[in-house]
Amino acid sequence: MDLKDSIINQIENIKKELVKLSNDIHNNPELAFQEFEAVENITNLLSSHGFEVEKGIGGISTAFRGEYNGRRKGPTIAFLAEYDALPGIGHGCGHNLIATMSVGAAIGLSKIADRIDGNIVVLGTPAEEGGGGKILMIKEGIFDNVDYALMIHPSTRNLICRGGLATRGMIVEYFGKSAHSASPEDGINALQAVIQTFNGIDHLRATLPLKANINGIITDGGKASNIIPDYASCKFSIRADTVKDLKDVNDCIERIVESVEILTGARSKVSKSLVYTERYPNKTMAEEFKKNITKFSEIMEYPEPNMKYGSSDIGNVSLLVPTIHSYLKIADAGTVSHSIDFTKASISDRAHEQMIKGAKSLAMTGFDIFDSEDLRESIYKEFKENVPKYREKDLK
């Protein structure tokens, strides 16, 4: 039997186990860094199929590594699992499917490990939805021994080589002086400082780099309308085409904050989240995935040049190793990601059928990489030519 056919059959044999795993994760949504039951369910299944599992890697309680070794030394291919949910709507991003596709792919490949030179790995990466789990794992060296990273994201379209914007969050707090509204001259209005911060951003918005976007909310504006607030705060989400552009936007906001301090007399404190970098999907690897999934009557497309992108910490991984983060259609156009409708779609029979196709195609792509030295060289040639090298200070 052809080895790819064998992989397909092996994944088909564990279809019920995979659907159960997806349902279990979906039915018990856990937020960033609290995904304890998801980790137990995933690692128990991997262990039952002979994977060596280590939990709590990189000092993160809900990160894990499952590994199955081939017959001899060779490259390490990591299938990345995400399993955190969204507040209020559960798995409205379909992370139950992401995790299960990666687990299914790894188990399917492991069944022919006696024909593979290298290591099959599942990396459990928590807190993609704002916590930057992959970034923390990178800092702890978890990706140092990984040569290729693969995953699939559920979507309303079949896409390869879709990019992603660089992003970070920023919290700005202002500290003023309380006073009664009858004598406002005795106070320093922290809320006015917040308002002027928004005004300053709006005034300079036209000068921001192309594709840059700033969205903000007031998180604290005072306690009573007849009291000058001595404390107020706001929170911003910043996106940009590249890390360089993101830094330019970041610097712009900090200059505005400094000006607001002078204008209002309030003191400021700026807190910044981790930087999610832009994404560099490996086209060579993605084309192999595209060829493999046609076996299941799925046609992958490229995104339009002007397509709007979101952000993910997979971008940081794509700076380190050749990476694919392909998109597989589980719902019709009009079903918005990060919504209750997508939460429902991610547990449907249709989604699970697509999930099995995705697991098989990922596994077949992994096999292609193990099987062809020429393919590996082509993947790394593209990686070295197209992916920039950022310094540590660029990501602060």
Confidence of residue 1 (pLDDT cuts 50, 70, 90): low
Query: 389: how many CB neighbours lie within 10 A of its CB?
Result: 7
DSSP string, 236-300: EEEEESSHHHHHHHHHHHHHHHHHHHHHH--EEEEEE-PPBPP----HHHHHHHHHHHGGGT---
Question: The pTM is what?
Answer: 0.94
pLDDT tens column, 354-374: 999 999 999 999 999 999 999
* Residue found under tokens 């779609």: 345
Give the residue-averaged pLDDT of 8-12: 98
Phi, psi of 148 (to 5 degrees): -145, 140
Which residues are within 8 A (CB) of 177 and not within 5 positions of it... i.e. 6 or more apart? 186, 187, 188, 228, 230
Is pLDDT above 80 for 393? yes
DSSP three-state, residue 155: strand
Residue with tokens 């999610």: 276
Condensed to tens digits (0 to 9), the pLDDT of residues 208-259 reads 999 999 999 999 999 999 999 999 999 999 999 999 999 999 999 999 999 9
371: number of Cβ within 10 Å:
15
Numbered ranges of CATH 3.30.70.360 in the chain? 166-272
Amino acid at 327: Y
Q: Which residues contact 232 (CB under 8 A, 6 or more apart)?
A: 173, 174, 176, 190, 191, 193, 194, 218, 220, 221, 222
Per-residue CA distances from 146 to 94, 125, 180, 199, 259 (Å): 25, 14, 60, 46, 45
pLDDT band, residue 130 (cuts 50/70/90): confident
Q: Tell me the C-alpha distance between 329 and 355, whole Å.
A: 10
The CATH code of domain 166-272 reads 3.30.70.360
CA distances from 292 to 4, 76, 277, 298, 300 (A): 10, 20, 29, 9, 10
Q: Are 327 and 162 in contact (CB under 8 A)?
A: yes
Contact 174, 162 (CB under 8 A): no
**Domain spanning 3-164+279-395: which CATH class is it, in words?**
alpha beta
As annotated, the residues of the chain forming the CATH 3.40.630.10 domain(s) are 3-164+279-395
* 354 three-state secondary structure: helix
